[in-house]
Structure 1
Amino acid sequence: MTRVVAQGTFDILHPGHVHYLEEAAELGDDLHVIVSRTPNVTHKPGPVIPDRQRTEMVAALAPVDEAHLGHPDDIFVPIEKISPDVIVLGHDQHHDTDALEAELDRRGIDCDLHRASARTPQFDGELLSTRDIIDRILEERPRD
């Protein structure tokens, strides 16, 4: 059995997230998704949706076998527990793959890294990022 790990913030779910997780699920038999805790999201604005709610929403998606809330201090702790064969990074995730591979080696985690593809928009105006969804909401529903 091939165990796959995907991870991300998954703030406001959108078709780009589903594409990423479907592609990750195709690489194995068992997809585990690690949802980042709010304080650990430092490379972009923090999520709007609470940690537990994001984890529950990800768990409800068809490609996902298990969803886990990330560790508060060490992103590798859940990876060590899951012991994946493959880790799939989102097409736009900021991870340095060389540094990630080095840390996996240091911890004795033997798995492959794979970078997912971007979803091609299916129609004009399709929103494929949380930031785009938030911007559209602010445009369409300005505060009084």
Structure 2
Amino acid sequence: MTRRVVAQGTFDLVHPGHVHYLSEAAALGEELHVIVARRQNVTHKEPPVLPDRQRRDVIDALGVVTEAHLGHTEDIFVPIERIDPDVIVLGHDQHHDDDAIREALAARGIDCEVTRATPREKRYEEELLSTGRIVDRILESRGCESDE
């Protein structure tokens, strides 16, 4: 039986932290399905710079990913029901409440493990492992000011 893993996120301006997360998730099974959040559903931080389909296409091109999917516009659990994973791997710093996700999955009759990826440690001082920090660095280097 194929062990199916789901990871999810915004994946705007893909960086080494994303690659670490997806590689770690992929190691937990034979298939890695990645759900890429739609811009309209990103409310916990600045919305992504890149369009939904472009972010999905970039994630889909990574060798560790079996298939990348766009999230549902109204119900984040719809793609999870369709994929039917054995494991959901949350990013180490994602805002999700693990127990609330477990409860929502159980209420929908989805039986799968929920775990968290480990953080990727910086390998050198100037390495950027955050899309927000990358955007800030771009603005800074171009003489613009960040909104933060």
- Give yes or no for the alignment of 1:135 onto 2:117: no
Structure 1, unmatched stretches of 5+, are none
> Offset at 1:142?
1.8
TM norm structure 1: 0.98
Q: 2 CA distance for matches of 1:39 and 1:128?
A: 23
| Equivalent in the alignment of 2:110 | 109
User: What residue is the counterpart of 1:50 in the other structure?
Assistant: 51
State how far apart, in whole Å, the 1-side matches of 2:73 and 2:125 are.
Answer: 39
CA distance in 2, matches of 1:141, 1:18: 27
Q: Which amino acid aligns with 2:111?
A: D
Task: Report whether the alignment pairs 1:16 with 2:14.
Answer: no
List alignment gaps of at least 5 residues for structure 2.
none
User: Number of residues paired by the alignment?
Assistant: 143
**CA root-mean-square deviation:** 0.6
Q: 2:3 is matched with which residue?
A: 2
Q: The residue matched to 1:108 in structure 2 has which SS?
A: coil
TM-score by length of 2: 0.95
> What is the percentage of aligned positions where both structures have the same residue?
65
Counterpart Cα distance in 2 of 1:142 and 1:71 = 37
Amino acid in the other structure paired with 2:103: A
Q: What whole-Å deviation, never above 9, does each CA across 1:28-64 have from its counterpart, x for those lacking one?
A: 0000000000000000010000000000000011110
